[in-house]
Amino acid sequence: MPKKGRAFSKLKRVRNIKMMDLRSIRENPQKYKEACRKKAVKADIDGILRLDERRRTLLSEIEEVRAKKNRANEEIKDADEKKKKEIIERMRKIDKENEGKEEELKEVKRELDVKLREVPNPPLEEVPFGESDDDNKVLREEGKKADFRFSPKDYLEIAENLGIIDMKRAAKTSGARFGIIKGKGVLLHFALVNLAFDVACRYGFMPVLPPVMLKPEMMEGMGYVERGGDEIYHLEKDDLYLIGTSEQIIGPMHSGEIMKKEELPLRYIGYSSCFRREAGSHGKDTRGILRVHQFEKVEMFSFARPEDSPEEHELLLRIEEELMNLLEIPYRVVDICTADLGDPAAKKYDIEAWMPGQGEYRETHSTSNCTDFQARRLNIRYREKDTTRFLHTLNGTALAIGRTMIALIENNQREDGSVVIPEALNDYLPFKEIAKDED
């Protein structure tokens, strides 16, 4: 579990973020205690309840003091001078008494705010319980694995030999965990982007090219800061954060807004560079472009009514699988267990691609239903009849470009070191293979 980093300590000053529903915690504290247990997260639910009770008591007492002052103001209108002095003195005592309560209320609210940020989104009932990613449940395997008549190579050996990935020059210019994509690798990169956009747009997703820098309060609103702050790049001079995925900036696009019921589901598909410090992966996947500080991704994001979000989640998964099938990459679908869910997710699926050169499945996609966790924090609602409700937010990887390229190279390699391009990309590229003797 990632530790809270500098990002969290800096963001403690942010206000006006609606955290978990206090009424819900008050009415069903066991639900949230169980959610924390299932997600292996420490959060002080009993402390929240005590602070909430004290907050409500103080609010009641402050309101009573204000009522006393209002009555005193009425009395003073018809009072003689002696009586006025008595009333004024009484009001001074009331003000002094109230000042202490106001200060205590501010402190209680501050403490409550900090504790509420620690409460994760409860997992849905159907999510499998688990204590680590070893407990994730494989739902199915799809696609036919290639029957190589030779020993398949690792993608990096193939790509460097073909001149489409250059790790050495990237290390020279930028350091470890960076790669330079070159030549036909770049054209393949953008062919994958175009395929993802074409498929998603058929389902009503609106394309967006978002900024890659995000305000602190918006990053916190999305719920990725309390645990995992060390993974986020922070530009201290500008007080801006570099996004780790475009979902982090697409969600806040509608912060503070009230949508119409008829607009939902509202679907976006965004392409962006993404930045991640990989602070918790020291010594892991240090070769190549599988785990790097900067990568490109096409991400889907949906705003949906609560009753429609389970179906929307399944749609995101279907689109991810459609893309994998078009690219003819063998894969498996994994139901993520409770302890492997991030704070915002109530349910999550991963897709893991078969990597024959590595002899294992590796994650290429994820899709999460975050229910109203992010919408509540960002105050995003929709109007239904005479009331407003918090909507649900969902996200899903269309294609993580670097990892998809890895899977394509390994699954489509030939014995001579060339790589065959899947038929689905033929309309996007002026070539059908990448061979060493080509520029």
Is the per-residue pLDDT at 101 higher than 90? no
Is the per-residue pLDDT at 111 higher than 70? yes
CB-neighbour burial class of residue 335 (10 A; exposed 0-12, middle 13-18, buried 19+): middle
pLDDT band at 336 (very low <50, low <70, confident <90, very high): very high
Average pLDDT over all residues of the chain: 89
The catalytic residues are 276, 291, 363, 366, 403
Q: What is the pLDDT of residues 52-95, one digit of tens each?
A: 999 999 999 888 887 877 777 776 777 767 777 777 777 777 77
Extract the tokens encoding 68: 């006393």
Q: What is the pLDDT of residues 201-250, one digit of tens each?
A: 999 999 999 999 999 999 999 998 877 677 899 999 999 999 999 999 99
Query: How many Cα atoms sit within 13 Å of 317 on the Cβ side?
Result: 21
Averaged over 163-191, what is the pLDDT? 92
CA distance 220 to 397: 21
CB 217, CB 17: distance < 8 Å: yes
Question: How far lies 215's CA from each of 26, 143, 187, 246, 371, in Å?
Answer: 31, 42, 33, 14, 23
Residues 6+ away with beta carbon under 8 Å from 154: 288, 357, 358, 410
CB atoms within 10 A of CB 283: 5
User: What pLDDT score does 279 carry?
Assistant: 61
CB 12, CB 97: distance < 8 Å: no
User: What pLDDT score does 268 carry?
Assistant: 98
Q: What is the pLDDT of residues 18-61, one digit of tens each?
A: 566 788 999 999 999 999 999 999 999 999 999 999 999 999 98
Domains of the chain: 6-117 (1.10.287.40), 133-434 (3.30.930.10)
Q: What is the pLDDT of residues 379-393, one digit of tens each?
A: 999 998 889 999 999
Residues 6+ away with beta carbon under 8 Å from 150: 415
User: What percentage of residues in the chain have a pLDDT greater than 90?
Assistant: 74
Residues 6+ away with beta carbon under 8 Å from 28: none
